Amino acid sequence: MTKDRVPELLDRAAEALEREFAGLPEFKTVRESDSNAGALAQVLEEAAGRLGDNYPYFHPLYAGQMLKPPHPVARAAYALAMTINPNNHARDGGRASSEMEIEAVAEIAGMFGWKEYLGHLTSGGTMANLEALWVAGELQRSQGSEIRGQGSGTEGPGTRVQRRIVGSEQAHYTHHRISHVLKLDYGSVAADARGRMRLDALEDELRRGDVGTVVVTLGTTAIGAVDPLPEILELRDKYGFRVHVDSAYGGYFKLIEDRLEEPARRAYQAIGQADSIVIDPHKHGLQPYGCGCVLFRDPGVGRFYKHDSPYTYFTSKELHLGEISLECSRAGAAAVALWATQRLLPLRADGEFAEGLAMGRRAARELDRRLRADGRFEAPAAGGPELDIVVWKVRAETKERSSALAQSIFSACAQRNLHLALVQLPLFWFGSASGSGELVTCLRSVLMKPEHETWLERIWDALCDACSEMENG
């Protein structure tokens, strides 16, 4: 881990913040007593030792899961805000950080072309998706249950049914869990050989007449697949349902949509037509955990958040973030960190932040190219990565042998400080004639750091060395 100037710059910023409150009488807290300095240093050194028992998530040789180090400005701004520890549940809890959240969220919404919207930060993508599906359920209840069966012969006139939520079988597993928590029915739609929702399977579900919301994933967590949003929007015109886009992982690729292949590019061009969008700044957005974001195209859905808590804050007549969020206490420091990052690296298609996304995508495409040219591996038959996730299986006579080799290579790479991930994928994705239910353990790499492009040769060499060890072992 290289040394940077963050501590020095943070000290200067902390002094500036202290001057903002210079008019207050001086005081000394017990917990900051000088007598505790030795114990404090000892505890911090012990904590540092414990933290060493981790993968090196910050390093380019960590190329496994979706773990990207926060930008130095995000780390510094978060630490600076913790001097005050604001709570963005209400303006009384964090006046400045609430305004900074509103400004930062507006820039994210603007990335999707939205000027009128309702949105806020959350503790992560799970909570953001929960809010989106909760609003979908509240809309259903407010509009009344749909009537099904008139003229169908399956149910009598006047039968009321619960509108279901459906998503691809490759959608994040939490959508099913969230729906269960909200007591909403959830259905899974089959995916094709590229991990995208199958339109024919979706329409089979829509013909049943009871689908209220379709979850469209732009960037699945397994392989970065992008569901066919434009075609799904056409089905919305025909059948009538809400479209929720889960782009927790892939949302920022909107900035480089022109550099994506046509299907993915068309999906990102259409994202502004969704009813709700989720994006996680703590993935590609260079933020510390936890920082998610939920956006609604119709600001009117804010009516579902209204509450009459006797202990809420009343010092401001302006709308505060606690009135448009299911969560109460939320770290204002997360908003300050995001605001500072976007001030330094604006969300522009021609900016440094966007170029960082493009570098990771180029690295992923190059790794995929090398894998396809190497007889030891098999990449998905239908095509390469849509975003920056690469998956491949080890060529072997059986899926059991292939899975075992993947496990061995995974461990051998780790011994060389190259950290990949393992994922179970449908065998038919690799051109096998087997049934869609058969799975094989594959290797997976998320090349989301800009540095991955310049480190790709080192990554490839370590992978090849690990494979040679298997062959010679």
DSSP for 27-38, please give it. Answer: ---GGG-GGGHH
Residue 271 pLDDT greater than 90, yes or no: yes
pLDDT for res 36: 76
Q: Going by C-beta distance under 8 Å and a sequence separation of 6 or more, which residues neighbour residue 34?
A: none
What DSSP line would sit under 334-398, residue for residue? HHHHHHHHHHHS---TTSHHHHHHHHHHHHHHHHHHHHHHSTTEE--TT-S-SSSEEEEEE--SS
- Asked if pLDDT for residue 457 goes beyond 90, the answer is yes
Bridge partners of residue 389, in order along the sequence: 446
The two three-digit tokens of residue 383, written as one number:
């095509």
Q: Looking at residue 1, what is its pLDDT? A: 54
| Start-end of H helices in 253-324 | 262-269
| Mean pLDDT confidence for 32-36 | 62
Task: Please state, for a pLDDT cut of 70, what percent of the chain lies above it.
Answer: 90
- Quickly count: other Cβ atoms within 10 Å of residue 95's Cβ: 16
Q: What is the pTM of this model?
A: 0.91
Mean model confidence pLDDT for the chain: 90
At residue 447 the predicted structure's pLDDT band, cuts being 50, 70 and 90, is very high
Q: How far is CA 463 from CA 38, 408, 416, 468, in A?
A: 45, 11, 9, 9
Q: Please report the pLDDT score of residue 158 as a whole number.
A: 47
- Output the pLDDT for position 352: 97
Spell out the domains of the chain, with CATH numbers in brackets: 95-344 (3.40.640.10), 352-472 (3.90.1150.10)
Q: Flag the least confident range among 63-72, 155-164, 350-359, 397-406.
A: 155-164
> Does residue 435 have a pLDDT over 70?
no
pLDDT digit string, tens, across residues 144-181:
654 444 333 344 444 445 689 999 999 999 999 999 99
Specify the amino acid at residue 250: G
Q: How confident is the model at residue 323 (pLDDT cuts 50, 70, 90)?
A: confident
Q: Give the per-residue pLDDT at 314.
A: 41
CB 258 within 8 A of CB 222: no
SS3 12: helix
pLDDT of residue 173: 94
Residue 124: pLDDT band with limits 50, 70, 90: very high
Q: How many CA atoms lie within 13 A of 259 on its CB side?
A: 20
- Helices and strands (H and E) in the chain: how many: 13, 13
Between 287-301, 368-382, 421-435, the lowest mean confidence (pLDDT) is in: 421-435
Residue 316's pLDDT is 44
| Mean pLDDT in residue range 283-296 | 96
Q: Taking residues 77-85, what's their average pLDDT?
A: 94
Contact yes or no for 358/312 (Cβ under 8 A): no
pLDDT score of 32: 58
Query: Average pLDDT, stretch 258-273?
Result: 98
pLDDT tens readout for residues 39-56: 888 999 999 999 999 999
Examine the pLDDT at 102 and tell me if it is beyond 50: yes
